[in-house]
Amino acid sequence: MPWIYLLAACLFVVGLKMLGSAATARKGNLISAIGMLLAIVATLLDHEIISFGWIIIGLALGSVIGAVIAYRVKMTAMPEMVALLNGSGGLASLLVGWGEYHMHPVTPVFTATAIYLAVLIGGITTTGSLLAYGKLSEKISGQARVFPNQQIVNGLLLVLAVLFGIVFAAHPESNYFIFILAILLSLVLGVLAVLPIGGADMPVVISLLNSYSGLAAAAAGFIIANNVLIVAGSLVGASGIILTRIMCKAMNRSLSHVLFSGFGSATARAEEGETAPGEVKAMTPEDAYFVLEAARSVVIVPGYGMAVAQAQHVVKELGALLEANGAEVKYAIHPVAGRMPGHMNVLLAEADVDYDQLVEMDAINPLLPTMDVAIVIGANDVVNPAARESESSPIYGMPIINVDQARTVFVLKRSLASGFAGVENPLFFKENTRMIFGDAKKTVQAMVGEFKIS
């Protein structure tokens, strides 16, 4: 049914385009899902399918697992869930390649190459995503781990993987052992690729692994001669690479620097624990109310701490009260805020914050010197002025939201601990900064309460 595949591919493209805007992202996701449904139905109606028994079992199990995940996973766990889904896609491609080769060991060079790529990229994606899941969920340390000569070891293993691929593609029927070694090698490469990455680079890892899963799916599409899988995999692979590039640009770093520099390692954290110059000035939510009540312009900068506290709904309520009081309210979104691309957009969309109030970093920075109050809610690295002022800082040169240029800055945080990148933040000690310690949700609720009783 080529015309159904063509329609599904068109829906993928339209849906992907709509995902580029917060205002149309939900509709774009639905359109893409409809496209995938059509593609699945068309494939299942293919006359070459002998039995639907295992397909029905797999469909039922997948539906149950997907429904449970969608219902139970909290917004704070969304990054690690995305990592697991990326890994699932990579594992599926690996198994498709392995299964096809096991059934048809005598195969043309092109198909053998596609099988090898699906297995290699799928294996790297699987273990890399599992390790990313562990770091993001803090089941293992999120700190980068770099051992001596790691880059050389990774390079040699990659060269070995290429050589295995050449040998396998030339004579696949007699190289099953090489094929198994390649699978094991891909799993090791996945671990070693993510091991030296930590801290603020995790959003880049998520988008890159997403791209890998798409490339593996495209290779699987060539194996089973399924055009819609090739198209879908190529779209995911290309969009993931583009998003990775956007993330790198947002941190003013190259992809090679992200992958091989070991950012967040012990060397990058050498200054952690040092006392920054100045004195912290604490404030209560009740005192902060008097400043907010007089403010005519307020910018709210959300971060991962807002996700942890599940404060997005009460933050929206505070924004509405500020607007009712005559203030202009904007939400400043940094591209790498949170632990996955678009993390803050998802949270604020869940709270039904008006899309027109979401402002990107480049658009809000020129306005910050004119803003009365900047409220930083659980963000750290993306507002750290050390990126602008300290050449010795590991994040120096990273574009940030310049909240320190606002007239008054409220930082809502549980403690003075460094952010996910492990870098001290001098913003806490600025003359115009007031720290409001405690759970972000309870702090904002206290501010909201002051507005309601006034």
d(CA 209, CA 211): 5
What CA–CA distances, in Å, run from 108 to 93, 122, 322, 329?
A: 19, 21, 67, 62
Residue 332 has φ and ψ, to the nearest 5°, of -90, 125
Tokens 């590039």 appear where?
A: 245
For 274-335, the DSSP string reads PPPSS---B--HHHHHHHHHH-SEEEEEE-HHHHHHT-HHHHHHHHHHHHHTT-EEEEEE-T
Tokens of 16: 């992907």
User: What is the per-residue burial (b if ≥16 Cβ within 10 Å, else e) of 391-414?
Assistant: eebbbeebbbbbbbbbebbbbbbe
381 counts as catalytic: yes
What CA–CA distances, in Å, run from 93 to 100, 153, 207, 225?
A: 11, 26, 18, 14
Q: Are residues 180 and 166 in contact, defined by beta-carbon separation less than 8 angstroms?
A: no
d(CA 430, CA 281): 9
Tokens 């599940």 appear where?
A: 310
Is the Cα torsion angle 153, 143, 382, 424 positive or negative in sign? negative
d(CA 390, CA 320): 37
d(CA 333, CA 323): 19
Tokens 């009460």 appear where?
A: 314
Residue 251 has φ and ψ, to the nearest 5°, of -105, 5
- Among residues 352, 362, 381, 439, the one annotated as catalytic is 381
Tokens 């917004």 appear where?
A: 75
d(CA 212, CA 118): 10
3-state secondary structure of 173: helix
DSSP state of 272: T
Could you list the active site residues? 381
